[in-house]
Amino acid sequence: MKSFGTKKPVLFELLLFIIAMAAAVILGVILGNVNEIRNMSMALSRIIVTLILLVIFRKCFRNERPLAGIGYALPALLLAAWNAACGLAFGGKFELPDAEVIILSAAPAVFEEVLFRGILISNLKENGKSDMSAMIISAVFFGLVHLTNIVGMSLPNTLIQTGYATVIGLLFGAVYLKKHDILSVMIMHGLIDLSSHMFVNRSTVITPAMLAAFAGILLLVVVYSFVLTKNGREDSFEH
């Protein structure tokens, strides 16, 4: 008999995301009472919750091939380079990342990749979805959860971030389906986030030319993701 996660993978993912986020917030509040880690309490709580998820859903990750997909994930560096270019172009001050910045960048990467690539794609495949469908569904779901950023962010910026997250979701979903390697997509996701933290006090104004370049990069990533998935996976996605 199929489990709830396999029968209703999207609904299950929504409930799991809500529960995981709630657990992270509660744990973050508890950790925040410790002065030494107050600034990183939410990041550390996400990492802890992720470790728990990895134990609970270890079946989804039992055939992992660490770093097998790192080459396929390299286009993610285009997005990291974009963040760095924007930092330089708009007067940002470069700062070498310290331990806190690295943890702040790694936390959403490990948390989101385990949820939206590892667990969701695993359940979608068990449900009988094709690779293409699994990639698209997981990416759209990943993008839509970023609509929650409307709290504290303007609507246009929220919509841009939602679209950006969807494109990233397509890329990482394609890589994960190709090589069943959660570690590589975690690393690339973390590098994208890290690149946005390495330039401080920069202007937030983006010129039309820069916006056009950004749209071009996103289009290239989308095309690459679909081509990669259409060509099929090299390894079995059995659980």
- pLDDT tens readout for residues 32-56: 876 566 678 999 999 999 999 999 9
Q: Is 64 helix (H, G, I), strand (E, B) or coil?
A: coil
- Residue pLDDT, tens place only, 101-152: 999 999 999 999 999 999 999 999 999 999 999 999 999 999 999 998 888 7
Q: Is residue 170 part of a domain?
A: yes
pLDDT (0 to 100) of residue 213: 87
- For position 1, what pLDDT does the model report? 43
| Number of structural domains in the chain | 1
Is 236 within a domain?
Answer: no
Segment 69-108, tens digit of pLDDT: 999 999 999 999 988 888 777 777 778 888 889 999 999 9
On whether residue 239 sits in a domain, the answer given is no
Question: What digits encode the pLDDT tens for the residues 8-20?
Answer: 999 999 999 999 9
62 within domain boundaries: yes
Handedness of CA 155, 156, 157, 160 (dihedral sign): positive
Q: What pLDDT band is residue 198 in, cutting at 50, 70 and 90?
A: confident
Largest CA distance in the chain: 58
Domain that holds residue 207: 4-230
CB of 192 closer than 8 Å to CB of 74: no
